[in-house]
């Protein structure tokens, strides 16, 4: 019989229910205190520690010493292996028995030599379920091993998440025992939690909020926590409320398990491998118990790690992939940075990724998946479409500091007009926990719910791994269809996007880049990583071009496809979204640089092999036989450039055909030599017939004119090549963020250390050198070079850098007025405003660019070329290139040391397209190769040339699956519609257009004529062709 109804006091009623579930209050008499029953200690526990990450087989052979619960181990990055002998009491028959393991660090339970369960306190996984219902016949005694990594889910930062790791952290084992787990109490706790959250997060006057509150109160009344026989009635009450259904119009949330694992970030690559295993083995356990559970998983590299290191686990994963529940997504090798990798690198992310997914799982991914990357290039839609992908998921734009992105579901139209369907999970996270509040936010935050009434919700601990938990699944199950809450279904990306596609006519379109208005420091931080990325992109390009030449010229040459795949995969791995952006710890920087060194070493061997195959006997056996110089050009246009001869100090002006080579016995004579004149005031004038520069004694370019027209580039009364320093103290994300307010702290660098002096007096090359004192700790030394027949002034720069929270840039105040500046991106370029009219304009105070940027008015402009920089800005008529930062977290040593980089200033007549800025920027980044050779008069050869300056032949490589074929990739670089001919001297039998995955397009055989191959291009179109070689 019911007691009297008391007052309707919301706060006391709510808190009463909350206390009933509390971890911290009234555990002696509340429901939470009843979660576990009897416990029993382990029979024995022993351990051994190692600084290495070793395999299980090696670990179990080590000497284990006895250890007690409460002891500490470590230090940071070590691994402690525990051996636990257990004996389950006979009296626990019929009970659910857990091994309860609470320790710092990240654990993996091994049983019978197989990984069986990941354990992490931060990821709310502290139980390994030994049995759900103990049977008499089951073994009661067993031995398990627990491998504990001495780092947390988020590494081992000192004082804060992103603080540099503390190398001396100690890790404590707080609990290791057998316990009886009360599943019925757990279920009741989840019921209560959902009811309390409905009461709390639905509005106070919402009927369902009040009903949930009343129901929770009734259940507390009904329950005697010491008497399990009172539980079913309370559960019945809860399910009666959960069973009240929604109307047809209710919002539908597609929930998918997820576990974002940064391939390296606050921990090194090697730890990520174990993070994958710990997280995914847990997913497999959950799948065994929850038939509806789906899990979405990206990054081919991580699958490859688990395939090679954990084959048993991988086989289980493959089974669930077949069932369509463990769902590979993304199609890329890693979740790469979305801004800085070159166009070809982005293609290779998909090529390596999609081919892996196809080989391993029998199908290509149909969604691109990049939830946590710092902006998205306008070229991505075309690259996705070329790789079999029409759908894209991210949520990172929710981090933008200034503007709120207006859509949740929309079409994204790229540079060339390609469109993909995009969804931003409106919960603004890829690591939800399946809570009522999150589901309500997902619904309310969906900006397109009037058009398409569906959202996704990705649940599971992420960034450092961890993934979903049983509790998350139990929560979501209760929200399947409960009146007042959005409908939450376990779903898949395909199911969700298919719904979206059915309603796609309702959706808006966003054109151009998806710019993240935050983390703009990542274009500059860790300059050495950026430099090596650019360098390795060039090396692999050149090795592929030269190996392709060798393949077609020498029948015995073996194209090094496997080695190249390995090197590409290393480069792609380093393009991960916390490595190339520079937002990682020092250990990761060391890992990355080791991989770059391997790429450089191996690529130079491969390059030598190709050159050897091409020239064989022509190559001298000793210096005395070198009579001429072989010059190799890996770019698709003829070049005439001054080079310094290898091993000698002499210069030569050489001309070499497009994508080919020539032998030179002596230097050409320039039409106009370089002159260098030192003035009485210490300033210097340099001229080469095309441009004339005047530098003051501080190395500032006070004038840069086009000789023929006399047009001046530099703003009157100002100097270009002006170094400037800024204070660079962001709000929190040190390595990531440069804030707009840094611009208010500008200080020009004007302290001369060594005044301007002439190094090379002219002829083929003139140059001057000077040094500036940046601070007591840092110095810039620069050589400013002008070559004969060259349209730009080159700045070869060396900086000794030992700053803290400073930002070094170089500025170019120009005599050019334009509302927009142009920046090179992957396979193209785009424009961004030079003014700060709207919040969308000024939020882009620091942007990214690849090899060049340009500020032009009609008929004239100035381009800035660079060989390894990405951060840039143009505000009004001042162009600036971002050079070096000095953040202290998460790597306290970031960027400290010596840096070398080059940039160039190129004034031009006409548009940048007409002036060949694109080609000169390529030349600046892809120096000619020279090889001393025996006499070879008249030797000259060109493999490819293109008759339109708008078309860049970017890539030449062997086809992935066809040893008898090359793939060439071309793109339209001017933003124009053109017809072009590709000429080749190679023995081509057939030419078939293919997609970026090198799959032939049906009915797309190209007509091969004596003029070559004819192509028509639309603006920024990327086209790939299979060239089948005559044997």
| Size of the chain, expressed as the number of residues it contains | 1031
Does residue 691 sit in helix, strand or coil? strand
DSSP tag of 136: T
Pick out residues in 548-587 that bind Zn ion (CB under 5 A): none
Nearer CB in complex with Zn ion: 353/828: 353
Strands, DSSP E only, in 68-169?
A: 72-73, 79-87, 96-103, 106-111, 114-120, 127-131, 141-149
Nearer CB in complex with Zn ion: 262/787: 262
# residues near Zn ion by CB under 5 A:
2
Q: Which residue is nearest to Zn ion (CB)?
A: 372
Residues sharing a CB contact under 8 Å with residue 545, sequence separation 6 or more, in sequence order? 634, 659, 956
Are the C-beta atoms of residues 280 and 125 closer than 8 Å to each other? no
Question: Which residue in 191, 197, 262, 372 is the catalytic one?
Answer: 372
Q: How many Cβ atoms are within 10 Å of 58's Cβ, its own excluded? A: 11
The least distance separating Zn ion from the CB of residue 374, rounded to whole angstroms, comes to 10
Q: How many Cβ atoms are within 10 Å of 839's Cβ, its own excluded? A: 10
The least distance separating Zn ion from the CB of residue 464, rounded to whole angstroms, comes to 9
Nearer CB in complex with Zn ion: 110/303: 303
Nearer CB in complex with Zn ion: 735/883: 735
Residues sharing a CB contact under 8 Å with residue 258, sequence separation 6 or more, in sequence order? 295, 296, 297, 430, 431, 458, 459, 460, 462, 467, 468
Of the candidates 211, 176, 175, 173, which has an alpha carbon nearest to the alpha carbon of residue 194? Answer: 211
The least distance separating Zn ion from the CB of residue 346, rounded to whole angstroms, comes to 18
Residue in the block written with tokens 């509790």: 471
Burial of 869-908, coded b for 16+ CB within 10 Å and e otherwise, reads bbbbbbbbbbbbbbbbbbbbbbbbebbbeebebbbbbbbb
Nearer CB in complex with Zn ion: 101/736: 736
Nearer CB in complex with Zn ion: 115/338: 338
Annotated active-site residue 133? The verdict is no
The least distance separating Zn ion from the CB of residue 976, rounded to whole angstroms, comes to 38
**Residues 368-397: x/- map of binding to Zn ion (CB under 5 A)?**
----x-------------------------
Sheet holding 1012-1017, edge to edge: 944-946, 978-984, 1012-1017, 1008-1009
Pick out residues in 82-101 that bind Zn ion (CB under 5 A): none
The least distance separating Zn ion from the CB of residue 736, rounded to whole angstroms, comes to 12
**Secondary structure (DSSP) of 288-348:** HH-TT--EEE--HHHHHHHHHH-HHHHHHHHHHHHTTSEEE-S-SSS-B-SSSS-HHHHHH
Of the candidates 710, 698, 546, which has an alpha carbon nearest to the alpha carbon of residue 633? Answer: 546
Nearer CB in complex with Zn ion: 371/486: 371
Nearer CB in complex with Zn ion: 262/344: 262
For 279, the enclosing helix (H) or strand (E) is helix 269-289
Residues sharing a CB contact under 8 Å with residue 319, sequence separation 6 or more, in sequence order? none
Nearer CB in complex with Zn ion: 262/891: 262
The least distance separating Zn ion from the CB of residue 396, rounded to whole angstroms, comes to 9
Q: Which stretch binds Zn ion (CB under 5 A): 178-186, 257-265, 764-772, 820-828?
A: 257-265
The least distance separating Zn ion from the CB of residue 261, rounded to whole angstroms, comes to 8
Q: Which stretch binds Zn ion (CB under 5 A): 260-268, 308-316, 393-401, 539-547?
A: 260-268
The least distance separating Zn ion from the CB of residue 579, rounded to whole angstroms, comes to 11
DSSP tag of 359: H
262 lines the binding site for Zn ion (CB under 5 A): yes
Distance of CA 678 to the CA centre of its chain: 48
Rounded Cα distance, 580 and 691, in Å: 36
Nearer CB in complex with Zn ion: 197/372: 372
Nearer CB in complex with Zn ion: 519/829: 519
Nearer CB in complex with Zn ion: 191/372: 372
DSSP tag of 928: P
Rounded Cα distance, 318 and 763, in Å: 66
Pick out residues in 814-873 that bind Zn ion (CB under 5 A): none
For 853, the enclosing helix (H) or strand (E) is strand 852-857
Does residue 527 sit in helix, strand or coil? helix
The least distance separating Zn ion from the CB of residue 76, rounded to whole angstroms, comes to 21
Beta-strand relationship, 751-763 and 674-678: antiparallel
Distance of CA 34 to the CA centre of its chain: 45
Q: Which stretch binds Zn ion (CB under 5 A): 89-97, 262-270, 953-961, 1020-1028?
A: 262-270
**Residues 335-374: x/- map of binding to Zn ion (CB under 5 A)?**
-------------------------------------x--
What are the residues facing 879 on neighbouring strands?
812, 874
The least distance separating Zn ion from the CB of residue 786, rounded to whole angstroms, comes to 45
Sheet holding 79-87, edge to edge: 65-66, 44-50, 79-87, 141-149, 106-111, 114-120
Site for Zn ion, rule CB under 5 A: 262, 372
Q: Point out the residues that are catalytic.
A: 372
């Amino acid at each position: 019989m019911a007691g009297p109804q008391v007052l309707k006091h919301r706060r006391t009623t709510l808190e009463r229910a909350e206390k009933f579930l509390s971890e911290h209050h009234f555990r002696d008499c509340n429901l939470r205190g009843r979660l576990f029953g009897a416990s029993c200690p382990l029979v024995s526990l022993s351990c051994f520690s190692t600084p290495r990450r070793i395999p299980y087989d090696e670990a179990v052979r080590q000497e284990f010493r006895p250890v007690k619960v409460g002891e500490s181990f470590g230090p940071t990055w070590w691994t402690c292996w525990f051996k636990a002998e257990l004996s389950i009491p006979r009296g626990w028959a019929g009970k659910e028995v857990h091994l309860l393991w609470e320790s710092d660090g990240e654990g993996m339970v091994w049983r019978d030599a197989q990984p069986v369960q990941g354990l992490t306190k931060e990821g709310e996984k502290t139980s390994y379920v030994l049995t759900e219902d103990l049977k008499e016949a089951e073994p009661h005694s067993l031995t398990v091993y627990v491998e504990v990594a001495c780092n947390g889910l988020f590494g081992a930062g000192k004082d804060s998440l992103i603080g540099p790791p503390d190398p001396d952290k100690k890790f404590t084992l707080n609990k290791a025992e057998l316990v009886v787990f009360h599943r019925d109490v757990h279920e009741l706790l989840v019921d209560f939690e959902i009811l309390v959250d409905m009461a709390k997060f639905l509005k106070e006057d919402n009927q369902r909020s009040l009903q949930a509150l009343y129901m929770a109160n009734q259940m507390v009344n009904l329950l005697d926590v010491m008497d399990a026989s009172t539980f079913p009635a309370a559960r019945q009450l809860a399910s009666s409320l959960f069973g009240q259904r929604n109307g047809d119009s209710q919002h539908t949330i597609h929930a998918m398990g997820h576990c974002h694992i940064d391939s390296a970030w606050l921990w090194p690559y090697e730890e990520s491998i174990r993070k994958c295993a710990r997280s995914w083995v847990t997913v497999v356990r959950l799948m065994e118990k929850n038939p509806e559970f789906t899990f979405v998983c990206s990054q081919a590299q991580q699958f490859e790690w688990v395939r090679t290191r954990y084959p048993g686990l991988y086989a289980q994963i493959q089974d669930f992939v077949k069932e369509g529940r463990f769902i590979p997504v993304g199609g890329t090798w890693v979740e790469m940075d979305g801004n800085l990798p070159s166009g070809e690198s982005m293609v290779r992310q998909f090529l390596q990724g999609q081919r892996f997914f196809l080989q391993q799982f029998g199908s290509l991914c149909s969604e691109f998946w990049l939830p946590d990357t710092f902006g998205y290039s306008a070229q991505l839609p075309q690259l996705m479409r070329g790789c079999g992908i029409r759908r894209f998921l991210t949520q990172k734009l929710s981090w933008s500091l200034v503007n709120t992105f207006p859509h949740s579901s929309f079409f994204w139209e790229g540079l060339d007009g390609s469109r993909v369907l995009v969804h931003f999970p409106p919960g603004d996270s890829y690591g939800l926990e399946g809570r009522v509040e999150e589901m309500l936010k997902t619904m309310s935050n969906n900006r397109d719910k009037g058009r398409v009434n569906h959202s996704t919700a990705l649940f599971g601990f992420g960034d450092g791994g961890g993934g979903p938990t049983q509790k998350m699944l139990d929560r979501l199950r209760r929200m399947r269809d409960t009146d007042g809450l959005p409908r939450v279904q376990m779903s898949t990306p395909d199911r969700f996007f298919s719904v979206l596609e059915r309603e796609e006519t309702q959706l808006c379109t966003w054109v151009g880049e998806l710019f993240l208005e935050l983390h703009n420091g990542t274009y500059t931080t860790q300059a050495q990583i950026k430099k090596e990325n650019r360098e390795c992109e060039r090396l692999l390009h050149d090795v592929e071009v030269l190996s392709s030449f060798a393949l077609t010229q020498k029948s015995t040459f073996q194209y090094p496809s496997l080695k190249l795949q390995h090197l590409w995969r290393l480069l792609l791995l380093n393009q991960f979204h916390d490595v190339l952006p520079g937002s990682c710890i020092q250990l990761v920087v060391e890992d990355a640089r080791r991989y770059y060194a391997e790429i450089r070493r191996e690529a130079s061997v491969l390059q030598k092999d190709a050159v050897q195959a091409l020239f064989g006997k022509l190559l001298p056996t000793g210096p005395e036989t070198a009579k001429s110089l072989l010059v190799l050009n890996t770019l698709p246009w003829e070049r005439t450039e001054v080079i310094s001869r290898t091993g000698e100090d002499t210069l030569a002006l050489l001309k070499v055909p497009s994508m080919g080579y020539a032998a030179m016995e002596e230097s050409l004579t320039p039409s106009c030599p370089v002159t260098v004149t030192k003035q009485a005031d210490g300033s210097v004038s340099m001229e080469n017939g095309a441009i004339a520069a005047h530098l003051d004694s501080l190395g500032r370019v006070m004038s840069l004119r086009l000789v023929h027209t006399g047009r001046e580039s530099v703003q009157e009364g100002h100097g270009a090549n002006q170094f400037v320093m800024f204070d660079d103290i962001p709000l929190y994300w040190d390595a990531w963020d440069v804030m707009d307010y840094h611009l208010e702290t500008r200080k020009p660098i004007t302290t001369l250390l060594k005044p301007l002096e002439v190094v090379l007096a002219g002829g083929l090359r003139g140059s001057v050198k000077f040094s500036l004192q940046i601070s007591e700790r840092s110095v810039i030394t620069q050589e400013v070079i002008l070559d004969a027949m060259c349209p730009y002034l080159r700045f070869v720069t060396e900086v000794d850098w030992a700053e803290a929270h400073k930002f070094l840039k170089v500025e170019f105040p120009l005599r050019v007025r334009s509302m927009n500046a142009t920046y090179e991106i992957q396979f193209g370029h785009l424009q961004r405003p030079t003014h700060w009219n709207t919040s969308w304009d000024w939020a882009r105070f620091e942007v990214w660019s690849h090899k060049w940027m340009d500020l032009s008015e009609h008929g004239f402009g100035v381009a800035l070329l660079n060989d390894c920089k990405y951060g840039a800005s143009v505000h009004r008529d001042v162009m600036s290139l971002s050079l070096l930062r000095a953040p202290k977290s998460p790597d306290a040593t970031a960027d400290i040391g010596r840096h070398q980089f080059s940039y160039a200033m190129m004034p031009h007549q006409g548009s940048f397209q007409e002036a060949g800025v694109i080609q000169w920027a390529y030349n600046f980044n892809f120096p000619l190769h020279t090889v001393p050779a025996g006499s070879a008069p008249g030797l000259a050869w060109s493999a490819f040339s293109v008759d339109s300056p708008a078309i860049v032949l970017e890539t030449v490589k062997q086809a992935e699956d066809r040893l008898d074929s090359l793939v060439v990739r071309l793109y339209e670089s001017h933003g124009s519609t053109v017809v072009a001919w590709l000429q080749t001297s190679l023995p081509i039998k057939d030419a078939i257009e293919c997609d970026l995955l090198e799959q032939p397009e049906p009915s797309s055989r190209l007509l091969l004529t004596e003029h070559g191959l004819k192509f028509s291009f639309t603006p920024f179109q990327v086209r790939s062709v299979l060239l089948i070689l005559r044997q």
